[in-house]
Amino acid sequence: MSRFSCLARNGFQFSTAVLLVAGVFAPSLAQQSTTYRGSVVTDWTSRHVLFSDAGTLTNAMKSRSDRWERIVNDPRYQMQQIRRDAPSARLTTISDFHSTKPSRNKPSPPQPQKSKIHQDWSVPIASTGFGVADWAYPAKYSFDPSASPSCGSDYVVYPVWENGASTQANIVGVNNLYSGTCAGTVPSVLFAYEVGTGQVYNSPTLSLDGTKIAFVESISGGSKFHVLTIDQSGNAGCATDTSPCNGASYNAPAVPGVNNSAVDVAITMDGGVSDTFSSPFIDYTHDIAYVGDDNGTLHKFTGVFHGTPTEVTTNGWPMTIASGSMLTSPTYDSGSQDIFLATQYPGGGAAATTGTLYCVNAAAATASFCSTSSIAVGTNIFDGPIVDSTWEQVFVTADDSTDTNMILFQTPVNFGSSVTVDYGAAGTNHYIGAFDNAYYSSVSTGHLYACGNQESAATPVLFRIGFNSSGVMNGSPDSGSFALVKSGESGAGVSCTALTEFYNVDQSTDYLFLGVEYYGFESGNPNCGGIACMMSFTLPTTSPFTFPSGPTATLTENYGYAFSSIVVDNYSNESGASQVYFGNIGEGAGIQASQAALQ
């Protein structure tokens, strides 16, 4: 179990902002290109901010055109469109936006044969068993999603839940990732850095060109915000203590700037605070990072990837959100230009208190709450909010106010109302759910999948909740469900990972990935054999959207009692190139596996 149960244009060409004057397009913009030509970053923020069908003027008409312009020019929107191969990501003129509506649902393919997920490799990243924390995500950089996967440029970075030392890296990156496509040792250690004596509990975030990594080094009473420029020249000099040496392995790390050209800018967060659960969110457009701490304060850093990283300590920053409370990771909404985050429980991991969702006005000159600053949710909010920028909705998972049931909570960005759905008994960590591909095309046909518990038992079950035509959750889960642990383990308190969905365009298949830390189910084929288990579900993409009867593939981990959260990379059909990445805490390893036993 866990220790606690100005527009960045790197690699992009964006259109000039769309001008709507009296409902008519400005003719001078008619030929501006909107073609995406960039690399793709997949990290924790890819799961926490989403854009459900913002690619047409329908959404511009629903609200202010300036809001729509900010959305379609948001790099995360651009990258999401490429991941889903949406037509709006390939449009060439403004008129295309007017006439084309993305249609992402393709005919459902034959159900894949059930099998074990194929593990391509496991690379050690920690010596004492703690690798990637269960609430953290690796981060993946892909140089060109339209070309063959790059063995040299593509890489994945794992944050390490260990104190940095001369024999222990606290951040590790690997490249040469793709078995069957890349030559030589797969993977290769691209870098293994000791960036200080603290632990990197939380999820890293990458620059759009993949050259820099932002993360927090967690140190009691003095956590540090880092911006690390990596050196990709290799490790040929490690044996002779000369350059280039970027750390040949996790237990022989390099120090940035010593026998390498890496540069690490480390800023002690104002106030001498600790940060356990809050990962930095990068507003790429303005080159700003936001991150919370364990004492209820939100921090702001400017010049993150394109200037000199600096914490803002004027005009009300850092901003007190809820003194004495741990904060979740913040989520920035480019549409409303607001930041959403929640309180978890008192600093130091004490007993749960009422969790509250907060809204901060990021566009204001002085740190300030939104006009409606907060809304009560429940207790035990472990994970940061999900924001759907298109439908202007915020989602949080929590326990209810009596700490009896797990709930999914939805509210519009102005906190004008809320919907609460009970989806099982309290008792385990609960992380964010995931939306199926249908949600991105037509919200009323889509679903939010979540890992809850059986009623009156801390036994994980996969649920889903549907939506009405206004993008509001139904009042109760759908009738289908799937028990994720073996029978007879009622009350075992097994936690799930966060859920990750990925639409594989080349296969026209919608995948859902999740893991349980132990006691995986033992019925059917495949099964988990009663141990830690990663699962891949195939989700329906057309009506009648039948609830999946079980996973189509599993991966068991004998040494794992908890998995980290999961990121997914490509939809390539090349050998070893459509993968998932996660950490195995018990094994102290970073792992790559195929999406669904493709090899």
**Secondary structure (DSSP) of 228-296:** EE---S-STTGGGT-SS-S-SBTTBPBPTTSSS--EEEEEEPTTT---SSPPPEEETTTTEEEEE-TTS
pLDDT beyond 50 at 30: no
How far, CA to CA in Å, does 561 sit from each of 177, 525, 534? Answer: 25, 22, 11
What's residue 73's pLDDT?
87
- Residue 167 CB contacts under 8 Å (≥ 6 apart), including other chains: 127, 251, 252, 253
- Give residue-wise pLDDT tens across range 415-449: 999 999 988 777 677 788 999 999 998 899 999 99
What's residue 202's pLDDT?
94
Q: Report yes or no: 229 and 263 within 8 Å, Cβ to Cβ.
A: yes
Q: Which of the residue ranges 449-453, 466-470, 483-487 has the most confident prediction, judged by mean pLDDT?
A: 466-470
* Alpha-carbon span 492 to 428, nearest angstrom: 9
Q: Report yes or no: 309 and 229 within 8 Å, Cβ to Cβ.
A: no
Mean pLDDT of 558-566: 75
Q: Which of 43-57, 211-225, 474-488, 537-551 has the lowest mean pLDDT?
A: 43-57
**In terms of pLDDT, which residue wins out, 37 or 193?**
193
What's residue 286's pLDDT?
96
Model's pTM, two decimal places? 0.87
What domains, with CATH codes, occur in the chain?
20-99 (no CATH), 115-594 (2.130.10.10)
What's residue 146's pLDDT?
65
pLDDT beyond 70 at 345: no
Confidence at 456, pLDDT banded by 50, 70, 90:
low
pLDDT beyond 80 at 246: yes
pLDDT beyond 70 at 113: no
Token couple for 118: 């194929």
Token couple for 168: 């222990």
- Give residue-wise pLDDT tens across range 168-213: 999 999 999 998 889 988 999 999 999 999 999 899 999 999 999 9
- Give residue-wise pLDDT tens across range 219-229: 999 999 999 99
Pairing of strands 115-116, 553-556: parallel
User: H or E segment at 387?
Assistant: strand 386-388
pLDDT beyond 70 at 103: no
pLDDT beyond 50 at 107: no
- Give residue-wise pLDDT tens across range 379-406: 888 899 999 998 999 999 988 877 778 8
AA identity, residue 73: N
* SS3 per residue for 420-488: EEEEEECCCCCCCCEECHHHHHCHHHCEEEEEEECCCCCCEEEEEEEECCCCCECCCCCCCCEECECCC
Mean pLDDT of 529-548: 91
Q: Which of the residue ranges 344-358, 454-468, 469-483 has the most confident prediction, judged by mean pLDDT?
A: 469-483
Q: Which of the residue ranges 25-29, 56-60, 493-497 has the most confident prediction, judged by mean pLDDT?
A: 493-497
Instruction: Name residue, tokens 């749960």.
Output: 352
- Give residue-wise pLDDT tens across range 255-270: 999 999 999 999 999 9
- Give residue-wise pLDDT tens across range 293-342: 999 999 999 999 999 999 999 999 999 999 989 999 999 999 999 999 99
What's residue 88's pLDDT?
39
Mean pLDDT of all residues belonging to the chain: 82
Q: How many CB atoms lie within 10 A of CB 405?
A: 22
pLDDT beyond 80 at 1: no
Confidence at 93, pLDDT banded by 50, 70, 90:
very low
Token couple for 214: 């932002």
pLDDT beyond 70 at 555: yes
Confidence at 5, pLDDT banded by 50, 70, 90:
very low
Q: Report yes or no: 281 and 205 within 8 Å, Cβ to Cβ.
A: yes
Confidence at 104, pLDDT banded by 50, 70, 90:
very low
pLDDT beyond 80 at 575: no
